[in-house]
Chains A and B, each alone.
Chain A
Amino acid sequence: MKKITIILLLILLSAPFMAAQETNEETPFYACDLSLYDSPNDEGVNVELEFTPGNTAAEVPQYAIDLYIDGAFSNTIMVKNAGALFLHTIPVDKSGTLVRAEVFAYDAQGQRQGPIVVKEATSAAQWYFSDRLGAFIWSLAFIGLIMVLIRKAKRGQEIFIRRIAGLEAIDDAVGRATEMGRPVYYIPGTSVIDDIATLASLNILRPVAQQVATYETPFSVPIQDPVVLTVAQDVVKEAYMAAGRADLHDEGMVYLASVGQFAYAAAVNGAMVREKPATVFLLGMFWAESLMLAETANTVGAIQIAGTDSTSQLPFFIAACDYTLIGEELYAASAYLSREPLLLGTLKAQDIIKGAVIISLVLAIVLMLFGSDFIMRIFLQ
């Protein structure tokens, strides 16, 4: 009772001075919406700030946000009241940093009021990308399945693989070059080694080189990227040795034609017109140069066996080449050609995962018809 009296007295006394503030306490005049939170999916060096003004620009033309990092004042951000959401990312040095934001309002007279809102947040490092978790689990399942199927394949279980026309044609295409006494060209795409398509192509290069070595046909592998060059040199050399024709191997077969896609295309087009290969392999990742190489090969009368995982270049290969490996057929080629049980096992695993993906697609669609996004959340996240 005594306390209340004192408070009442105090309020009465201060009333003339604090009239403005008093109304504030009931329904605060200055308003804004501030949220401060740790940035998701990072190593803990950012805190996100979202700020929406709550007053009109006439009432509060400008806000100021004071930032404190681990208790020490860092800087002030001035925000013009545009009536719109203001986003800011606050960089900090390390994870576990405490960030405090205090919002002040500048009234029409330019007086600083507040702090009207204070918020805190601690930056934190995340241990996994929440949005990549689904893909990670699928990949783990894929790896497990490959292990199981490889074991089966090692025990000698037959694995059926359908016919892939483009790969069946390799034999004839190399044979044709031999008969005509003209060279075989192998172009492993124009990308770098980071591109898995390049690796897939280098995996096909080995059996092709072996074939060429056995038939004693001239061989040429022009390359665009130095790292790919070193790998391709090894592949071709070992293939010639495996075919027992190390004597035919020449270091100059695999060479750097040029760097840069169009300079490469210019050089290879020139080489093709001059040497008139009978067979040209275009396997790997291509960009706009795909059609230049394919058309020039056609002009000199070569059979072209093409394959790429670039969907934008596939139409050109389909139109201009004799045989085309579409997308995943390129990746399946090394298993198909070698018939090695280990590789065939992974191909089977790939089909099973694909089946699972199709089934989840169908289930997700059916469940969506009933308004449930269960599959979407769990399997297709």
Chain B
Amino acid sequence: MKTPWYEKIMSLDKKVLYVIMFVVVMIPLLARWTYNPAVMPEVKDIYDEIEGIYTYNQSHPDTPQGILLSFDYSPSTNAELDPMTMSVLRHAFMRRIPVITWAAFPDSIDLAKNITTFIAKEYGAVYGKDFVFMGYPYPMTAAVIAFGSDVRNFLVKDFYGNLSTALPLLNKIYNYKSIGLIVTVSGTSYPRFWVTYANTLYGKKIATGTTAVSAAEFYPFLQTDQMIGMMGGLRGAAEYEKLVQALETQVIGEDIGSYLRNLYNDAPEGVWDTKIYTPGFSEEELQSHLSTRMSARTGMASQASAHFYVIFLIILANLGFFLSRRAENKR
């Protein structure tokens, strides 16, 4: 007797499921489909806060406010979190907001340094003037509290070995008074720590970027305004990325490729320290600078198609199950 089709779909070979899954994830990735997410209020709030700092800095050019971005994640969660740090940095550098970054774990030092300079280069940001990288402050609690008075006393040197007091940026921005927003991007419970110290003790505004898995843990802090906003998982990253791209189109224009190509065309010598990055982009570098501008949204397109594929499978399996049960009952 031939097995009816509904019995067959109930016991599909796993290999078939896997191959289709592979295809379903790969197509959006290769075709560079982008998912166009609706921007959630908690993500928009972060964006608005940074825009607020920009407006403030416009009217206070001598006493600007800065952003402290803490890389509180290790490479294992970079698929979800890299797009977040990149978008936030793009936003800040585009708006010429001073940025201080550091890494919370020893194995995130490289990652934090690479991403910070990678984005800084896109906007010709100058080390020491527009941004600084403080390496791995240890112990973290002490560093966070040191920001309450003067961080230069605690972090005497930056990651590259420059004296903190010799960095123009740190001489303007050395404590929480001139930090407009703290952004913590983390797959751990570090945001909780930031809330306890920087928010509760010093009343600083905290914005969080976190993995999809940890997002639920932090919703209560949003309700109580202990965090001003949150990017949850790849989706939150995609939303922020969309906002930043819209801003970039407005500020720089549609053609980012030629903007980058021409950025360092008649650049004066000696402005950019080649120890930090070499001005100018090779074609390959250019490609990766462009593709990271939509990595969260292409990732999200794959993500969404995988979700709908699984839901389709579940519906299929249940259909098969009901039909075979009905056939059994008839018999």
Report A-B touching, CB under 8 Å: yes
> Which residues of A approach B to under 8 Å, CB–CB?
78-80, 82-88, 299
Please judge, given known A-B contacts A80-B175, A299-B14, whether A85 and B150 are in contact too, CB under 8 Å: no
In this complex, how many residues of chain B approach chain A with their Cβ under 8 Å: the count is 13
Q: Least Cβ distance of B125 to chain A in Å? A: 27
Say whether, besides A84-B202, A85-B201, A79 and B177 are in contact (CB < 8 Å). no
Chain A residues positioned under 8 Å from B291 (CB to CB): none
Q: Which residues on the B side are within 8 Å of A86 (C-beta)? A: 145, 148-149
Contacts of A83 in B (CB 8 A): 177
| Residues on the A chain within 8 Å of B150, using CB | 78-80
Instruction: Report yes or no: B14 in contact with A84, Cβ–Cβ below 8 A.
Output: no
B153 contacts chain A at the CB level, 8 A cutoff: yes
B interface residues with partner A (beta carbon < 8 Å): 14, 145, 148-150, 153, 174-177, 201-203
Residue of B14, B149, B201, B203 touching A79 (CB-CB under 8 A) = B149
Contact check, B176 vs A78: say whether CB atoms are below 8 A apart: no
Q: Are A82 and B149 in contact (CB under 8 A)?
A: yes
In the complex, the chain A residue whose C-beta lies closest to that of B145 is A87
In the complex, the chain B residue whose C-beta lies closest to that of A79 is B149
Apart from A79-B149, A82-B149, A86-B149, what are 9 other A-B pairs with CB-CB below 8 Å? A78-B149, A78-B150, A78-B153, A82-B148, A84-B177, A84-B201, A84-B203, A85-B201, A86-B145
> In the complex where A80-B150, A82-B176 touch, is A87 in contact with B201 (Cβ < 8 A)?
yes
> Known interface pairs A87-B145, A87-B148. Does A82 touch B153 (Cβ–Cβ under 8 Å)?
no
Residues of A within 8 A of B202 (CB): 84-85
Q: Can you name the residue of chain A whose Cβ is closest to the Cβ of B197?
A: A87
> Considering only CB atoms, which chain B residue lies closest to A81 in the complex?
B149
Shortest CB–CB separation between residue B206 and chain A, in angstroms?
15
B112 to chain A, nearest CB (A): 25
Complex: chain A residue closest to B202, CB-CB: A84
B203 partner residues in chain A, CB cutoff 8 A = 84
B151 to chain A minimum Cβ distance, whole angstroms, is 10
Q: How far is the CA of A87 from the CA of B145 in the complex (A)?
A: 7
CB pair B153 A84 closer than 8 Å: no
Known A-B contacts A80-B175, A299-B14; the reply to A85 vs B148 at CB < 8 A is yes
- 27 A/B residue pairs, CB under 8 Å, sorted by A: A78-B149, A78-B150, A78-B153, A79-B149, A79-B150, A80-B150, A80-B174, A80-B175, A82-B148, A82-B175, A82-B176, A83-B177, A84-B148, A84-B176, A84-B177, A84-B201, A84-B202, A85-B148, A85-B202, A86-B145, A86-B148, A86-B149, A87-B145, A87-B148, A87-B201, A88-B145, A299-B14
